[in-house]
Amino acid sequence: RKRARPSRDAETALEAATAPRPPPASATSIRNLDCDVEGLRRRFLGQIIPPLGGQVKRAVMEAASPGASPTFSRMSGIQEWKNAVMLFVNVYGEGYKNSFVAGGTEITWFAQPRQWEGTPVVQRLVNADGGDVAAVGGAEAAHFDETPVLLFCRDEGRGYVYCGELAYLAHDPDRIPIRFVFELTDYETIKDGAPFKSLVANCHNLLRSPVSRGP
């Protein structure tokens, strides 16, 4: 797994790490729960997670927390667990173009319009590999725990496909919303499966990677 690149502004990372975070609404909030990362991988990597009574995101959340009925923001495309972050992408419709790029080995993903580089979850994504950010000015050094970033994509009318874990490659803090580029670390495992091939085929923005790879 690739080492995450540090934020271009260490002071921003320190602000995010030390900023107060609102407490979860309840004990069943996903912010208070651990996502069953290994269980998801074992049962659903490269597969469609069957909807629960037509609820596609609820199906993912319950699959990630066996025996519980977790509470979460149903409309959000980013879901923070205690030990992981989930990103949800629809490969159809208009709006921000979350797209597979570089032949499907990478994906671009847009944060929410109200989020900026100092938003704690944005820094959690940037520093997903964990580690320490050195002190800047009068601020104290900050530590980030390693955070698995999990990708779920869906075609119109279908459940989410679990596309595995992501590795941070880059982000553009000057864009609103912020654009990220991630590598699909499980690409070789899922690339030949029908669910993933369908996602890539239905993504009409299969472009070159926006990340410079050098000469």
Contacts of residue 139, defined as CB under 8 A and 6 or more positions apart, other chains included, come to 11, 14, 15, 18
Average pLDDT over residues 113-139: 80
More confident residue, 207 or 102: 102
pTM beyond 0.95: the answer is no
Distance, CA of 41 to CA of 151 (rounded, Å): 11
More confident residue, 117 or 10: 117
- pLDDT of the residue at 24: 46
| Beta-carbon-side half-sphere exposure of residue 28 (alpha carbons within 13 Å) | 10
Q: How confident is the model at residue 93 (pLDDT cuts 50, 70, 90)?
A: low
Q: Backbone phi, then psi, for 214, in 5-degree steps?
A: 85, 180
Q: How do residues 155-206 score in pLDDT, each as one tens digit?
A: 888 999 999 999 999 999 888 889 999 999 999 999 999 999 999 888 755 5
CB atoms near residue 44 (< 10 Å): 22
Q: How deeply is 182 buried, as exposed, middle or buried, from its count of CB atoms within 10 A (0-12, 13-18, 19+)?
A: buried
pLDDT at 209 over 80: no
pLDDT at 150 over 90: yes
Q: How confident is the model at residue 114 (pLDDT cuts 50, 70, 90)?
A: confident
Q: How confident is the model at residue 7 (pLDDT cuts 50, 70, 90)?
A: very low
- 54-60 long-range contacts (CB < 8 A, ≥24 apart) are 56/154, 56/158, 56/159, 56/160, 57/88, 57/160, 59/159, 59/160, 60/86, 60/88, 60/152, 60/160, 60/162
Contacts of residue 166, defined as CB under 8 A and 6 or more positions apart, other chains included, come to 87, 107, 128, 149, 150, 151, 182, 183, 184, 185
194: amino acid identity, one letter:
A
Contacts of residue 109, defined as CB under 8 A and 6 or more positions apart, other chains included, come to 87, 89, 98, 179, 180, 181, 182
Reference 51, options 151, 156, 157, 159; nearest CA is: 159
State percent of the chain over pLDDT 90.
49
- Cα→Cα distances 41→33, 49, 141, 179, Å: 18, 11, 34, 26
- pLDDT of the residue at 22: 57
Q: Kindly state the helix (H) or strand (E) to which residue 16 belongs, with its residue range.
A: helix 10-18
The token pair at 132 is 């320490």
> Using alpha carbons only, how large is the chain's radius of gyration in Å?
17
